[in-house]
Chain A
Amino acid sequence: AQSVAQPEDQVNVAEGNPLTVKCTYSVSGNPYLFWYVQYPNRGLQFLLKYITGDNLVKGSYGFEAEFNKSQTSFHLKKPSALVSDSALYFCAVRDRGGSNYKLTFGKGTLLTVNP
């Protein structure tokens, strides 16, 4: 079975400060990992993914994430937060060896960036 945990329901940061949204995962094999962002009353938008290779992945809007196999984590980061980054963020995982390609999503973390 595969699972994802986002330990923080909410994260608050001041504009211009660095932000981190945490994600840990569990899979039986090697993972494919994804981050999505959701604005109010909208669908999820893809931010970035880790498939293989470099552990530091860069994505849209200046976001990046670091894959840490020993800690089974894939935290989302941004060096300088913007008010417009305020949204709901989802981490997702699937087992690379899985046959049905289903993603398992975390419960989401609400990021609020204060002016």
Chain B
Amino acid sequence: GEDVEQSLFLSVREGDSSVINCTYTDSSSTYLYWYKQEPGAGLQLLTYIFSNMDMKQDQRLTVLLNKKDKHLSLRIADTQTGDSAIYFCAEKIDRGGKLIFGQGTELSVKP
């Protein structure tokens, strides 16, 4: 079935690295995504990875994909207070545009 799971909360200190994890059940995922939602705002597309890739790096963001374990992670290096937000993992499983979202991980960055 279609299911994406994330832990609900993560708290880190400013300057540390944050790692947000996600697991999904559908092995036919084509693309996997990370979106960021700040309070009162829409979802901002942070990064995404094609399912035949293992890793993608974009400035402070590193995405790791383990297809065998159906596990996706987002590492934020040198986390800043401005990174405090809810981070959503999502998967796309077919040629259409439907995205299936996890429940979101609230990242709290303490100074």
Q: Do A and B bind each other?
A: no
Question: A residues near B, CB below 8 A?
Answer: none
